[in-house]
């Protein structure tokens, strides 16, 4: 997929060396992605500290050796300066405990969901170390994911290899939600009909 030359704020560009959690890497991709909203940067890590080879869920954003690629938000990486300057580590907190429901209450742990025609189960809800905002960890029914619930060394949940994926809550559809909404609509229509009969109203 074609990449932008620079990030929107101009702080990062293709080929620039960066640091993330104390590890060095090089910017290989800048732009939009299929798995999240906003602007992301694809990094080729110097050591095998990544998750993929630049291909995420069937989309080739850039190419690198296996387990060297990682996607991050621009604010999560530090542009490296001179070699004698220290490199800080950001976002190294370890996350383990999941929330029971999403902030809007639409999804709960254990819910069956659908994403791009694939079924899965909600295994994690909450903050993550690799991006801002609320995310949900899904265990897909088939091996069409990216990991086993462990992302960049943090174990958010446990599932078989290549069945785990992280998504924004708005990217998935609860299975049965459509049917439930239809039944609720029918019940409301029936109640309104009963009210009309009791009130003696009729439509001419």
Q: What is the pLDDT along the chain (204 residues), one digit of tens a residue?
A: 789 999 998 989 999 999 887 888 999 999 998 877 789 999 999 887 778 899 887 889 999 998 889 888 888 888 865 343 333 333 334 445 788 899 999 999 999 999 888 999 999 999 887 777 889 999 999 988 888 888 877 888 989 988 999 888 988 999 865 444 444 545 556 666 565 555 554 333
Contact 18, 77 (CB under 8 A): yes
Contact between 123 and 117 under an 8 Å Cβ cutoff? The reply is no
Instruction: Annotate 7-46 with b (16+ C-beta within 10 A) or e (fewer).
Output: beeeebebebbbbbbebbbbbbbbbebebbeebbbbbbbe
Q: Which one, of 33, 24, 64, 65, lies nearest residue 166 by Cα?
A: 33
State the pLDDT at residue 203.
32
Cα angle value 156/159/164 (rounded, 5°): 70
The torsion defined by the Cα of 129, 47, 63 and 14, in degrees rounded to 10, comes to 70
Looking at residue 26, what is its pLDDT?
93
Other CB atoms within 10 A of residue 157 CB? 21
* C-alpha span between 33 and 200 (Å, rounded): 58
């Amino acid at each position: 997929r074609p990449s932008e030359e620079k990030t929107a704020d101009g702080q990062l560009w293709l080929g620039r060396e960066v640091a993330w959690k104390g590890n060095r890497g090089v910017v290989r991709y800048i732009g939009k992605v299929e798995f999240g909203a906003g602007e992301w940067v694809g990094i080729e890590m110097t050591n095998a500290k990544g998750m993929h080879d630049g291909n995420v869920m069937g989309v080739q954003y850039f190419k690198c050796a296996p387990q060297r690629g990682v996607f991050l938000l621009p604010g999560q990486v530090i542009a490296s300066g001179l070699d004698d300057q220290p490199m800080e580590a950001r976002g190294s907190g370890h996350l383990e405990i999941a929330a029971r429901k999403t902030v809007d209450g639409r999804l709960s742990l254990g819910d069956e969901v659908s994403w791009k025609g694939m079924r899965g189960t909600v295994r994690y809800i909450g903050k993550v170390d690799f991006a801002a905002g609320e995310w949900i960890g899904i265990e897909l029914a088939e091996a069409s994911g990216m990991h086993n619930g462990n992302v960049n060394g943090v174990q958010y949940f446990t599932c078989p290899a290549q069945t785990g994926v992280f998504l924004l809550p708005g990217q998935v559809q609860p299975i049965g939600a459509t049917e439930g909404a239809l039944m609720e609509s029918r019940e409301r229509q029936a109640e309104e009909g009963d009210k009309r009969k009791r009130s003696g109203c009729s439509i001419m």
